[in-house]
Amino acid sequence: MSSMKTRIITAVIAIPLVVLILLIGTNNFWVVTLLVSAATAIMATEILTAKNILNKLSISIPCIVFSFVFPAFSHTSYTLLIIFVFIVAIFLSLMLNYNKLLYDDLTFAFTGTFLVSSGMACLNYLMATYQSFTAFFLALILSTPWMADAGAYFAGTFFGKHKLCPNISPKKTVEGFFGGVVFCIIASILVGVIFQKLVYKDISINYVSLLIIGVLDSIISVIGDLSFSLIKRHCQIKDYGSIFPGHGGMLDRLDSVIFTAPLVLLVNQFLPIILW
């Protein structure tokens, strides 16, 4: 089966599941929060596996626990305490196992886990802050980088001639990048229109904010994608996992979200998307 067919089949199966999660998220904030936290824990597992340190339990257990707990409680007053406990656990592990653990493995596990967890924590923080609009923010944060990726894939496949970053990701092209920008902007605006017309009829949505998010997300998502491509190259692996045939692991699908979720949070802080 060709790569294109595999990707399409996986998308056909995955899209209804995402829609189901969005429907659940309309009235069940905590369910979606726990699902996001579980996905984050899976990504932490994948990044530890990439470096072959998942079996080093003194490192992997604190990392996996933190990657679940931190996003789940990102909207509470316990965030700094959770980070502090994680740091203490990591360095305590190093002190107790200094003859067995490599400092390189420790720093890789810590930074990789913290990066993944912080990005996904921003998603949960937004959904917690605007619990009545959980489905909207989830749809916005997921759809924009995914559509940017889809636009880049198809534009690059059919029109790509000029390499974007050949030393990092040989398949990415300049034409694909601009295709991603267009698709990302369309996705951002479309999410706003759909939710305003069909779900939140009594509120207004700031389409200027959505336009800004569409433009910036398309750029930041590429940075996120290339950053995790560098990690894969360092670890000499093709994909982080195989949960999604044709797409790779959980981290392969959400690497851009880790970077774009904080951006949406930032834009919303200065230019609120939801206008009462």
Place of tokens 């072959």: 52
Per-residue model confidence (pLDDT) at position 24: 60
Q: In this prediction, what percent of the chain has a pLDDT beyond 70?
A: 88
Cα–Cα nearest to 205, from 236, 30, 213: 213
Per-residue model confidence (pLDDT) at position 62: 95
Read off the pLDDT of residues 168-220 as tens digits, 9 standing for 90 and up.
777 788 888 899 999 999 999 999 999 999 888 888 999 999 999 999 999 99
What is the C-alpha radius of gyration for the chain, rounded to an integer number of angstroms? 19
**pLDDT confidence of 1, banded at 50, 70, 90?**
very low
Per-residue model confidence (pLDDT) at position 25: 54
Per-residue model confidence (pLDDT) at position 190: 94
Residue 148: what residue type? A
123 touches 15 (CB < 8 A):
no
3-state secondary structure (DSSP) of residue 236: coil
Distance set, CA 266 to CA 166, 216, 233, 260 (Å) = 31, 11, 30, 10
Place of tokens 């009545």: 132
Q: What domain range includes position 154?
A: 3-275
Per-residue model confidence (pLDDT) at position 246: 61
111 vs 96, residue with greater confidence:
111
**Rounded average pLDDT over 74-91:** 95
What does DSSP assign to residue 203? S
**Rounded average pLDDT over 102-128:** 93
264 vs 250, residue with greater confidence:
264
The answer, yes or no, to whether residue 156 has pLDDT greater than 90, is: no
Read off the pLDDT of residues 36-62 as tens digits, 9 standing for 90 and up.
999 999 999 999 999 999 999 999 999
Q: Please give the Cα distance from 121 to 188 (Å, whole number).
A: 21
Sequence length of the chain is 276
The number of domains in the chain is 1
**Beta strands 169-173 and 274-275, pairing class:** unpaired
